[in-house]
Structure 1
Amino acid sequence: MTVKQNKKELYMECKKKAKRAVAIARGKTQEKLYRSLESPQGQKDLYRLARAREKNERDITHIKCIKDNEKKVLTNDDDIKDRWREYFRKLMNEENEWSGELANVPTNLGVVKQVSIDEVRMAVLSMKNGRATGPDSIPAEVWKFLKGDGWSWLALFFNKMLHEEEIPEEWCNSLLVPIYKNKGDYEDLGKSDRKKNERGD
């Protein structure tokens, strides 16, 4: 018998032992789970699991059709894009009643001061963790972790924009993601259901 055959037999034997060990462990886990279901806490856990699975199945991750203003169902991709464009253009350009005056706002006199590292530090530390990132995909936690080095770089970057009076082109764009909130008709973007059905994040 060659060395290769010996290794193959050893591998097959180890594979069988691994399968047996996995089967035994799975059986013990299932038996433990079944016993736990007989207890009040186990029944609560089962109910919680069933409710979570039902919610996941109810979530809508991709809407293939929506309705227009006349409640007609749109299925063509271009028509759906046009409907979303119309919906958000109207949503983002609604006029609110406003006198045009800002109350208790100090007037900026003279040249704008440079952004200090301390201002950047306070702004970064006030940001919440676990929030969605922007186009650069850099979360707030990164700037918090970098501390002084990161704050100095940001201060330099902001002051460069102040001096050149230009902002990055990427900052002029935004990405809107409609999120269905499990209320009302998910295909309907009408006036009556607009605020409760969809929000843009």
Structure 2
Amino acid sequence: MATGRVAEKLNERLEGREGEKDIYKISNLRKWQRQDLAKLGVIRDRDGNIVYRDENIEKRRRKYFEQLLNIENEREEMEEAQRVEGPVVKIQDREIKRALSKMKNGKASGPSEFQIEMIKLLGTEGEKWMLDILKAIWEEEEIPRN
């Protein structure tokens, strides 16, 4: 009797709009279950022949990527740029504001475990602190350890 009730509920569900979607999902699932997995990923050798054995497939992939990653590309000659001399323009507070406004919240912190939200929450005080740090790095040409 319980089987009959389950079958009735299933038939009711399949008759509606949701049932059409379910039937489509089931047919696609069965199609993929019946498909031969060997046909899905075909690896060919340089001559175009299909490679079947696992160890041969591994060798072919290795050769392919060695060739792909070791090709030397032609490079265009670049003109040598003229040196720019003169006073170095210092970092401006408006540059800090613009950069902070472009930074997205919720991003992972780097090795320093420093998150940009901390500076944004401090407002102008945080901007000033960031400006002082960047100026010190610029002048000393070294990143502080602490």
TM-score, normalised by the number of residues in structure 1 = 0.32
Q: Which has the higher helix share?
A: 2
Q: Which has the higher contact order (CA 8 A, sep 6+)?
A: 1
TM-score, normalised by the number of residues in structure 2 = 0.42
